[in-house]
Each structure stands twice: as structure tokens, then as C-alpha cells.
Amino acid sequence: MIIYILILVMTLTAAFASFFLKKSTGGGTIISIIRNKYLYIGGFLYILAALFSIWLLKKIPYSIVIPMGSICYIWTMIIAGFFLKEKISKGKIIGVLLILSGVFCIAM
């Protein structure tokens, strides 16, 4: 059970890493991006997600960890809709359901 919780934490961490990297691009120029604190928050979260992934790969098979990492796409869509006010279409919802069904099959 703890393994599945850590997979959720890993994917959520990676999704927030992408979110912060997106926020870091608000200034437009390379210099403003390098000076933006969100760039470093996103980078740190990506490293943290990678460390979770490495630890999980030691505990469970590669053929389970990597496909379950697709949960990150679901978190990303939720974050984009909630924080960035992006539209969540029917197609995206269908995609989420397909990802969830695949993850469920792998978890079983």
C-alpha cells in the first residue's frame, strides 16, 4: 500500500514541478527566467520526483513504475484547470479515464 502512495506522491511532485517551470516563463526573456524563483522550485521538485522514482524502481518492477507514472498527466490536467484556468474538454476527460483504466490493469 505504501508503494502506491509513493507513486501518487512521485507523480504529484512531477506535475507540480512542471507547473512551477511554466510559471517561471512569465517574464519572457532568458534572464528573467533564470532569475525567477519558480524555475528553481520546479527544478527541485523534478529532482525530488526522480529520487522517488529511483527508490520505487528498487522496490517494484520497471514495467509497473513507469506506466504508473502516467498518473502525472492526470495531476497535470487538474493543476492546469485549477491554477491556470485551462479548459478541460471531454476529450481530456476521456483520456483521463483511459489512463486510469490502464493504471488499474497494471496495478492488479
pLDDT band at 6 (very low <50, low <70, confident <90, very high): very high
- Show the cell assigned to 31: 534572464
**Cβ atoms 96, 74 nearer than 8 A:** yes
* Residue-level pLDDT at 107: 78
Of 94, 99, 44, the closest CA to residue 75 belongs to 99
Per-residue pLDDT tens digits for 22-45:
999 987 789 999 999 999 999 999
C-alpha 55/C-alpha 98 separation (Å) is: 27
Residues 6+ apart with CB under 8 A from 63: 106
How is residue 29 annotated by DSSP? S
* Residue-level pLDDT at 44: 98
DSSP H helical segments within 25-108, as ranges?
30-34, 37-59, 62-68, 71-83, 90-107
Per-residue pLDDT tens digits for 63-101:
889 999 999 999 999 999 999 999 999 999 999 999 999
